Amino acid sequence: MSQSVHRTDVVIVGAGPVGLFAVFECGMLKMRCHVVDALDMVGGQCTALYPEKPIYDIPAHPAIEAAALIDRLAEQAAPFAPTYHLGQQVEKLTRSDEGRWLVETNKGVRIDAQAVIIAAGCGAFGPNRPPLDGLESFEGTSVFYMVRRRQDFAGKRVVIAGGGDSAVDWALSLAEVADKVSLVHRRAKFRAAPESVARLDALAREGKIEMVVPYQLAGLEGSDGQLTAVRVATLDGEEKAVPADAMLAFFGLSMNLGPIADWGLDLERSHIAVSLPGCATSAPGIFAIGDIATYPGKLKLILCGFSEAAQAAHAIHPMVHPGEALHFEYSTSKGVPGA
């Protein structure tokens, strides 16, 4: 356990796209940042859940894969040399008599900062796991809850379970590279975009996707972490085995605020209430941006989170540099310091 205390200007809780852009915005105002994230990589849900899915509403990018967006944001933040503390969770925030904040993680890292920006997305999240005997022995080797690289499933027999957008979208995508895709759902109706369902029906008629409906998961077959088949059953209990090398289960995410709920901040329906402009929370020196923040008229869009990052950085500047006038300049005029 670390006993030393890092000292910085701003601690950013969350290394997703909005947290990474907050590093840039703070850096442009000459404020140093430490970034803490529970995942062992930057990018948040963009990296963990849908790295190869295109995002269509990022300005100047008609389409950009989530992983590519994170790469560019990390590159944009790099000139300001942020310190990353990955694979750990902020557990405790303590305000000092001087008005600064001591941030402590579950791995013993302690950071003293003038301000804290919470950019933790939806808080702690994890997949809803199907209740199957022996599931743990297959997880991470042939049972997965996300797709990091589509090519990992090339030439394989893939069973996809679920009836929402993720299940349908990945069935459509993996049908292009997998040996066989079988889609398991308890009913024939899917909760996905109509155009995606239409494409799914077309590929099923062409024999490129096997529709295993109405069935639900009943068990797994295989050994040493490698699947050979997924057992499915009707509501009447009629079972059959679907040959499989890998299974993707898309039953949604369980999300909660985790330790954030205990930090004494004003909350509204599991979101942190903030005031505009600046995205300040009910605690002095703590700000919240991105999906975790809420205010009247809030839109949960990445581009809105980028704007909130800029607002928070400008609100923090007089706390870090008291008495220093901030003369607004466009980046085209002042460039990127240190780049």
90 is in an annotated binding site: yes
215 is in an annotated binding site: no
224 is in an annotated binding site: no
Separation between Cα atoms, residue 226 and residue 52, nearest integer Å: 25
114 is in an annotated binding site: no
Reported as type and span, the H/E element at residue 237 is none
DSSP per-residue letters across 122-143: TSEEEEPPP--TTGGGTBTTTE
45 is in an annotated binding site: yes
Backbone angles phi, psi at 248, to 5 degrees: -115, 120
234 is in an annotated binding site: no
Reported as type and span, the H/E element at residue 240 is strand 239-243
CA distances from 205 to 49, 198, 274 (A): 29, 11, 50
Helix (H, G, I), strand (E, B) or coil at 39: coil
Apex CA 316: angle with CA 315 and CA 319, to 5°? Answer: 120
228 is in an annotated binding site: no
Q: 302-320 and 17-28 helices cross at what angle (nearest 10)?
A: 40
Separation between Cα atoms, residue 329 and residue 124, nearest integer Å: 37
Query: Which residues contribute to the annotated binding site for FAD?
Result: 37, 45, 50, 90, 125, 291, 332
Query: Which residues are part of a known binding site?
Result: 37, 45, 50, 90, 125, 291, 332
